[in-house]
Amino acid sequence: MPLFAPHEIRHLVGDRTEAEAILDLCGADRQQAHDAIERLLEHGGLGPSTRVIIRLDPATPTSGETLFLPVGRHLLAARRQRRIARFSTLPDADGGGFYLEFATPSPTELEST
């Protein structure tokens, strides 16, 4: 398996470092993170095709459990419920966290609103 540099990965999978919004959960506890993500999901981001970066504190040798798994599970559940279109992890080089995209509404959904 070849190893790729960060710029090569961005070229292959797209730039997942730019978004319309950033949700910074650095320093947040588990409940604060859950509440912030729920608010974001309830509002569907900032509109059609909204891309959001969720920043998390990186793991350190003394940090204990991080928010990575709880937030990832929350996003996975939201994906299964079709509340978001897709999400992926951010490379550590980009600060760590998640990149997510909300689904673009279909033309019939837009007409009904």
Model confidence, pTM: 0.74
Rounded Cα–Cα distance for residues 40 and 24 (Å) = 12
Domains, the chain? 6-112 (3.30.110)
pLDDT digits (tens, 9 = 90+) for 36-51: 999 999 887 766 558 8
Among residues of the chain, what percentage have pLDDT more than 70?
Answer: 73
Question: C-alpha dihedral over 39, 84, 15, 54, to 10 degrees?
Answer: 30
pLDDT reported for residue 106:
47
Q: The tokens 């550590």 sit on which residue?
A: 92
pLDDT reported for residue 1:
58
pLDDT digits (tens, 9 = 90+) for 68-101: 999 999 999 999 999 999 899 987 766 689 999 8
